[in-house]
Amino acid sequence: MTPPADTPEIDRKVAAQLGQRLLKILAPMRVRSLSLHDVAGELLWINHGEYDEHMRRQVQEAQDAFALDRNLQHLERDVEGSRVLFFCSRSADGDRAGLAFAIVSSRRRPDVDPAAVRERVFTSMRRFSASEPLPAGVVDGRPPEPEPTPALGGAMEDARARTEQTTDDHPDSLRSRPYARLRPGGTTRRYEIADSAEPSTEQDLIRAARLIALLKRRGARNAPAPASFALPLCAASILSGQFTPRLEPMLHEAHLSEDILGFTLPPAAWELDPAATERFMEQCAAMRCFVALDDFNLARGGFALLRAPSLRCLKLDAKLIAGVPEDKFAHANVAAIVKAARILGLYCVAKAVKSPDRARWLASAGVEFADRASRAGKAGSTTRRARALRLAAGS
């Protein structure tokens, strides 16, 4: 298996340079295979061509473990006479930037200090978060054009012009956060835009235009199994009626795959004006965009919206997650929502999952994903790391 054809050239060059350096660092451990992956787990570089399906599944399991535990940087386990090592590169704020996957000899040399080797690997892997390749999930390595950027105003054309010049190191670049899979099996390529912005329709349009431009350049047109990206919106964008008319021309020009772009709607919109929110969701269906309802629970008035054809996801209220499994009301609330979602063909995302124990309970209740890494435990805790890996592996 080789890197995808649409992998930006700068990603490949940075990964190749980093891979050669890591091979030298790991040489005393007798490396059999070394591969580098982006934040979504996609292959960027491998020291030989034998990257098979079994290795891909191991990478995905490690990705899920690293997403679940924000303090986790290193995983190690024995597999069929070899040792498998995973090293996670993180940015200064703790976001994952990349992954190194090494298969080394199971026989440890007495003169090799594993801790010292790991430290050298982590030092070198900071290149992942310092390079231009990507804030999590949305990749675009093309440098800015030399022409000056038009001033951003209310016009859609101005917003589109600026997004065409956005790169990772630009202050306006987007960051995304992949959902962590709680239940075993398969992979997850669902992301939510995590950058902060002032709550206004204008800012939502700017971010939407920027995301559409990045996806368009990434090649997300008519892909058979594209990743999906949810953009949180403020209530004004949903209720004012000004957002979708200005968004539709951008989507029409981009020709993105269906359900690759979606919007997360806050309860401030669908509680205040359910009728306007329903119209917005109908417009999203016409534009082939999906919708997620944020902070959903049985006490809110969003039941009429569950019929909307554009609805794909229910993000469970963080207060409910904090109460399970001890609080019977929270327990019943989550169980009822998950059962209804399954019947309707929706998936559920848990918010603020702060411990592997709670994640395990949610997985057993049928919740598929978590949107925030666990912050329980401290860096270097072998027990916590092992539990996170077992949870991601489904054991």
CATH number for the domain that contains residue 242: 3.20.20.450
Helices (H), the chain: 9-26, 53-68, 114-130, 156-163, 201-218, 235-239, 243-254, 267-270, 274-286, 318-323, 328-344, 356-365, 382-393
Lowest-pLDDT range of 149-158, 241-250, 303-312: 149-158
* pLDDT on residue 359: 85
Q: Are residues 40 and 88 in the same domain?
A: yes
Does residue 265 sit within a domain? yes
Which of 63, 95, 130 terminates a domain? The answer is: 130
Tell me the two tokens of residue 371: 């949107």
82 in the same domain as 178:
no
Go through 287-298 and write b for each residue having 16 or more CB atoms within 10 A of its CB, e for each that does not.
Answer: bebbbbbbbbbe
Confidence (pLDDT) at 154: 29
Q: What is the DSSP letter of 111?
A: T
What average pLDDT is seen over the chain?
Answer: 75
Do 122 and 195 reside in the same domain of the chain?
no
Residues in the chain: 395
Judge if 178 and 315 occupy the same domain: yes
The lowest-confidence range among 6-15, 65-74, 255-264 is 6-15
Establish if 98 belongs to a structural domain: yes
Looking at per-residue pLDDT, the higher value among 159 and 82 belongs to 82
249 and 376 in a common domain:
yes
- Nearest of 230, 378, 380 to residue 294 by alpha carbon: 230
Residues 89 and 171 placed together within one structural domain of the fold: no
Domain that holds residue 366: 156-393
Question: Are 36 and 45 within 8 A, CB to CB?
Answer: yes
Whether residue 368 sits in one domain with residue 220? yes
Give the domain-ending residue among 130, 147, 180. 130
pLDDT at residue 6 is higher than 70: no
More confident site: 17 or 135: 17
177 and 41 in one domain?
Answer: no
Average pLDDT over residues 60-88: 84
pLDDT on residue 140: 31
The string of pLDDT tens digits covering residues 209-255 is 989 988 887 655 555 556 889 999 999 999 999 999 999 999 988 88
Pair 86, 28 in one domain:
yes
Is 150 within a domain?
A: no
Cα separation, 87 vs 76, in Å, equals 9
Which two structure tokens, joined as six digits, stand for 79? 């597999």
Output the pTM of the full model. Answer: 0.56
- pLDDT at residue 380 above 90? no
Calculate mean pLDDT across residues 295-316.
89
CA nearest neighbour of 191 among 95, 280, 310: 95
250 and 374 in a single domain? The answer is: yes
Residue 114 included in any domain: yes
* Structural domains of the chain, count: 2
146 within domain boundaries: no
